[in-house]
Each structure stands twice: as C-alpha cells, then as structure tokens.
Amino acid sequence: MTDPVRDRLAAAMDGPVLAGRRARRAARCHSVADLRRAARRRLPPMVFDFVDGGAEDEVTLEANRAAFGALWFRPRILADVSRRSLDVELWERPLPMPVVLAPAGLAGLVWPAGEVAAARVAGRAGVPFVVSTASSCSIEDVRAATDGPLWFQLYLWRDREVTGTLVDRAAAAGYDALCLTVDVPLSGVRLRDVRNGMTIPPRIGLKNALGVLSRPGWVVRSAAAPVVTFANVSGGRPGRTTALGTYVNSQLNPAASWDDLRWLRDRWKGRLLVKGVLDPAAAARLVAEGVDGIVVSNHGGRQLDAAVPAVAALADVVAAVDGRVPVLMDGGVRHGADVVKALALGARACLVGRPYLWGLAAAGPEGVGRVLALLEAEVDRTLALVGVADASALAAAGTEILKKTGRI
Ligand code: FNR
C-alpha cells in the first residue's frame, strides 16, 4: 500500500543535500568509538541499548574487548613495508580486506531498510555482507540491492520446512554462502532490552517516550520507513507487538542437534559456515561433518554471559582445525589493530557487528562507508607498524609479533 506522505518523506531523505550532510558528519568521526558516540546522540536510548547491550551482566561483552587489550604487538623492524596488501583469500577468492559485516537482526530499527543500506555499501567495497534470518529486509530485497558478496545467516527453526524454505530462498537468490548460527538454542536475556520494554515493532510508552522524542531525526526517518519487523519469516507481521525475546524463543528450536547439521549440509550445496563456536573439539567435529568454515564467536556477548572471550578462544580452534577450513572470528573488533591481532592468531578474517550499526545510526550509508574506510586504513597502518607487509602473512608471523599479557 502506498502512503503519499511517507513516500515524500522517504524521497526527501534520499536526496543529495542530506547525503552530503551525512558524509560530512561521518568524516568528523575518526574512530569506531567516535561513531558509537555519534550513534548514542542520534538513537533513542531503547534502540541504542538494543544494539550496544549484551547478555545478563555483560561480562562477556566487556571481556571480548579486554581480551584484545591483553594482546600486545612486538613489531618486526627494518622489514620493508613500502608495499602492503590487505587482501586475504577465502575459498579461492580474494577478499579486499579481512573484514565481513556480521549478521544483525532488525537493522531497520537503526536506519530505514538498514540491511539494504549497509549491504550496498559493503558490496561496493567487495566486502561480504551477512543477511540475518531476523533481518528487517527480506533475503530477496537485499539481493536485489547489490551485486556484492552476500551470505545468509540461518537459525534452525522449530519447523524444519520453515528452515528449509529459508535455505532454498537463499539458494534461489544466489547467496554466496550460508552461515549457520549455533549459539542460540534460545534467546539470551539482554537486561537493557527487558528494562527498556523493547518490543517488535518498538512500542512507545511512558517509559521511553521522552527518549524517543529527544531524537527527532530518528522519529522522522522511522515515520517515513515501513514498520520494522522480521521480513524473512511470517509471524513477524506488522501490527503485532511482541517482546523481542518471547518472539525469538517461540520460533527457535532448542532441540537442534548434529542431525540437523547433517540435514542442512545435505540441503545446502554451497559454502557452509558455522558461527558461534568456542570449543576446539566441536570445531574439529564440524570440519569432519563437511562444513567449509568456522566462525569463532560468542554472539558479541549477547547470548551466554561468561562465555569465553572470542579472541581468547581463537588460537585453540585454529589449532584444532589445522588449516582444513578457514577460521573467522567476531566479538569486540573495534579497530584495524584488532583485525591484525586476530589474523596473527590464525583467523582468516573478522566479522564486525556493532561498529557498522553505529555507523548506520550516526550517518546512514555514509556512516557504514566510514567504518569500512577507517578499518581499512587502520589495518594498513598497523601492518606497516608491526612490520608485516601482507595481511595473508600475519598467521605465519603470529607468535613473533604478538605478546600476551595478563589473562586472555
Ligand atoms: C547480532 N548478532 C547476530 N548474530 C546472528 O547470527 N544472527 C542475528 O540475527 C544477530 N543479530 C544481532 C543483532 C545485533 C543488534 C547485534 C549487535 C548482534 C551477532 C553478530 O552477528 C556478531 O556475532 C556480533 O555482533 C559480533 O560482535 P561485535 O562486533 O558486535 O562486538
């Protein structure tokens, strides 16, 4: 159904004047931390917390960062770093830099059609974008928006046929890889969301009205955009308001087992990654089951609180996988130096979640572009400063250039 007011608002916001303003705002951010601060100023607290928050006491959320902080560089000297390369190879194809945009549900809360906006920017850079099962734009709409590399992130649904239909849709739309997330047998509890009364679609009540009204830009943009809901699955239809965790739990299959993995391996013929692995023995078993890649992750500290920090789990998983498939990681990557540390521990690439959502919130697509540009420049600079000219040579240089201090 078309709504003339909404269409006029949306068209006005797509124009060059606002895009120029967003680009200038993005350019004033010189780090991911700056973009987070800008996001905080522009999002209603309820939405900022949905992105920023972690499970329970947020111990793992903080530990993901602290574990990067416990790794220090011991640079090579006089190493001729005049010609540097950020390329890494993934499944016989080059990635322009070792960064992937992680799946994030409901990016539409942050920016209208947030997944489409972010996927376009990533696609122009040749950076893979992972579309979440829980995204606010459909599998097909994101595919139609970009020719860039797209992966589809899958949750195992209670109804196997619902899951199978999602897999088939991703295949029909030509997605390059499937990423099965295995750390959500049920939804973790994010206390910030509970306290804020976070629902889908967001409900403005007494508790959060002031916070929403204090962000008029977000209100105008959201009014011009379609209602935010789960675009890939029925039940997330507009008009029904459901507490986030309740909805997710009603759909996920806590009975999922290795049998389901075998079923999926059979149904999806393309590259299959499994995300949410922290245990080396499980990683080795996944490789034996025929997966094509592992993502070491604790879901950005949003699921099991007190789960081991992702970068602390990385080296053991890399050792167990022993080069048979690429190992990627996410959780707490906020700077190119973090990417370099993860690669020195044997990761092929890092996924980033919150950083690009903060970019979207701060300056829309221009903010996502800024995050990618910052990470690229930071990886490049860090390569020079640690004395390893080639990102793909970091794993071999690992123990020479990295020093662990304290607990990680
Ligand atoms: C996520 N993440 C996630 N993961 C997934 O497999 N499916 C999903 O739908 C979502 N949704 C989601 C929403 C939001 C708002 C966030 C912040 C994260 C987890 C995500 O893919 C990734 O593992 C973490 O975000 C990585 O940690 P950082 O980069 O945010 O620290």
Taking CA atoms, 278 is separated from 56, 142, 189, 350, in Å, by 19, 30, 20, 15
The tokens describing 132, both together, are: 């979440």
Q: Cβ–Cβ contacts within 10 Å for residue 44, how many?
A: 23
The answer, yes or no, to whether any atom of ligand 1 lies below 6 A from the CB of 275, is: yes
Give the helix, strand, coil percentages of the chain, each rounded to 5: 50, 15, 35
The tokens describing 154, both together, are: 């899958």
Check residue 5 and give its pLDDT. Answer: 66
Q: Cβ–Cβ contacts within 10 Å for residue 144, how many?
A: 11
The tokens describing 356, both together, are: 């690009």
The answer, yes or no, to whether any atom of ligand 1 lies below 6 A from the CB of 190, is: no
**Catalytic residue IDs:** 299
CA-nearest residue, atom 5 of ligand 1:
103
The closest-lying atom of ligand 1 relative to the alpha carbon of residue 332 is 31
Least confident of 28-42, 213-227, 253-267, 346-360: 213-227
Flag whether pLDDT at 272 surpasses 90. Answer: yes
- Percent of the chain clearing pLDDT 70 (strictly above): 96
Give per-residue pLDDT as tens, 54-63: 999 999 999 9
- Percent of the chain clearing pLDDT 90 (strictly above): 84
* Secondary structure of residue 263 in the 3-state scheme: helix
Whether the model pTM is above 0.75 = yes
Q: Which pLDDT band holds residue 243 (cuts at 50, 70, 90)? A: confident
Flag whether pLDDT at 392 surpasses 60. Answer: yes
Q: Which pLDDT band holds residue 309 (cuts at 50, 70, 90)? A: very high
Flag whether pLDDT at 407 surpasses 70. Answer: no
Mean pLDDT of 255-275: 98
Q: Which pLDDT band holds residue 200 (cuts at 50, 70, 90)? A: confident
pLDDT averaged over every residue in the chain = 94
